[in-house]
Amino acid sequence: MRALAFVVALGGVALAQPREPGWEVRIPDRIEVGVGATGTLPIAIAVDRGLAISKDAALIIDLAPDAGIAIKKRRLGRGDAADPEADAPRFAVPVKADAAGDHAVKLHIRFWLCGAKVCRPIDVQRSVTVAVTP
């Protein structure tokens, strides 16, 4: 019972933390792909009005797939975006499924968020489940 109270208390703390203002990384929690087929993992970085992702600094997305998932390019930059000149770039990452089951793709995203006068570094880690069906 004591452990449950601790877990509930931690959950309350996590929910009470404010959302980081100004930006959001949009990726699905889960995508589905058939064995041997290729699906698309969409990644979008949305920014609030008046902000932009620096075009002078690096925008890097590192992808680390579990075994059973193949990704041709594991490091993406602004030039790999569907819209490289956009203030908030979008990516469409081809994901090939080699084995049935649920597999994770871990993402590490780094960029500089800029306002009118100041830029600040953003470092985000997320995970996506790739459900591979036979």
Show the tokens assigned to 106.
């871990």
90 Cβ contact list (under 8 Å, min separation 6): 42, 43, 44, 45, 81, 82, 83
Q: Tens digit of pLDDT for each residue in 75-124?
A: 999 999 998 988 889 999 999 999 999 999 999 999 999 998 999 999 99
In a domain, 12, yes or no: no
> What's the total number of domains in the chain?
1
C-alpha 128 chain-centroid distance: 8
Domain residue limits at 81:
21-133
Q: Could you tell me if residue 84 is inside a domain? A: yes
Q: How far apart are CA 1 and CA 49, in angstroms?
A: 46
What span, in angstroms and rounded, lies between the C-alpha atoms of 53 and 58?
A: 9
pLDDT per residue as tens digits for the range 6-65: 333 333 333 333 446 789 999 999 999 999 999 999 999 999 999 999 999 999 999 999
In a domain, 15, yes or no: no
CATH number at residue 82: 2.60.40.10
In a domain, 1, yes or no: no
Geometric angle at alpha carbon 127, from 124 and 132, rounded to 5°: 155
